Amino acid sequence: MRETRGAWKVGSLRGIPIRVHVSLLLVLPLLAYLFSGAFRRAAEVANIPTAQLTGMAPVLWGLGVAVVLFVSILVHELAHTLYALSRGGKVRSITLMMVGGVSELSEPPPRPRDEALMALVGPLASLALAGVFGLMAMAAAGTRSFHLQFACFYLAGLNLFLGLFNLLPAFPMDGGRILRALLVGRLGVVRATRVASLVGRGFAVLFAVWGLVTLNPFLLVIAFFIFMGAEGEARQARMKAVLERVRVVELMTPRISGVEVQASLEQALWDLRRERRVALPVTDEGRPVGWVGVEEVRGVPDAERLSRTAREVMHPLSVVSTEENGWRALQHMGESAVPLLAVVDMEGRLAGTLDADDVQRGMALLQTREERAEREARRWRQERPA
């Protein structure tokens, strides 16, 4: 397994990494304890005498149920992923966390209808699992496999709850994504996301209040993630709407040269300090061939920096054209996990660089320009003679 951003890769599907976040490993013992506490009540509901469920401690039951529950959540996320791929979407990764699963999309399906159906298939998969476990519990009722009957009954109930809970219109949960997709045709993506985000934050407040009243820590955690997720999705939708309308050339820092590929690391460090940058492109006759950062240079002993070159420590560089739109460039930066992009002209020569600071400055200027245009348009409408 390979650790990545607080998660471990445990497998892949069509090249898409499947990861387990460290928060899941921390919450499993707590879930095991909570499920074991409900052991006797669940057995009564299932009409199974607890005396028949001997031979295994309730806490082990709870741990087994918690593990299978997260396998069910993985099936839920795989349903999202497979449908997205079948409709032209792109999935970056699947991560199982303490609050459930996350399928990270680098590009959603192009049509709102497909996005709605993609959100719907996850809860449907959970409801289907509930049906399967329910049928298994019924089949086991005619035998003396009380442990199997109880486990299937318990998991059927958990998957039923998971499917129905995810259908609540609490954006960015599945039900909230369905709501947004239904509103896009009438309101547009930005306004639809804003409305769905407000509904989601309203549900988050209700969950938080109910969690405080019932002293349920999981509801409080879920409320926090929904509230922050709704706000983050609304912000991302606004950013996408703005950046899709501008070219990279309008955002980048103009630059026709970087650190020369044969420059010493001492010279590279001087260039980085002069430019006040943590990373710069490495160029060979004006064409970008990699990037080098302050950390890479400082990782080399002082006595060796004059004799070693930028080529020896540089990293592969991602390149975009000046005509690429800002949103696609930002996605490319995230997918490549690089601190900057090299912007090249039609001949492949370095024209500038683009990093997160450039995008933030560009966003601030573009939003200021749009707000000024809106104020002027509003003033013109007010001053126009009737």
Q: How many CA atoms lie within 13 A of 54 on its CB side?
A: 2
SS3 168: coil
Residue 24: closest CA among 81, 91, 94: 94
Element (H, E) at 310: helix 310-313
The interaxial angle of helices 112-141 and 58-86, nearest 10 deg, is 150
- Integer Cα distance of 373 and 386 in angstroms: 22
Q: According to the annotation, is 315 in a ligand binding site?
A: no
Helix (H) or strand (E) holding 284: strand 279-284
For residue 55, the SS3 value is coil
- On whether 174 is known to bind a ligand per the annotation, the reply is yes
Distance CA 157, CA 42 (A): 10
- Does 355 appear as a known binding residue? no
Catalytic (active site) residue 77: yes
Instruction: Given the residues 77, 233, 260, 296, select the one marked as catalytic.
Output: 77
CA distances from 368 to 231, 329, 374 (A): 21, 21, 10
Instruction: Determine how many CB atoms are found less than 10 A away from the CB of residue 327.
Output: 18
* Whether the bond into 172 is cis, omega within 30 of 0: yes
State the binding site for Zn(2+).
76, 80, 174
State the binding site.
76, 80, 174
Catalogue the active-site residues.
77
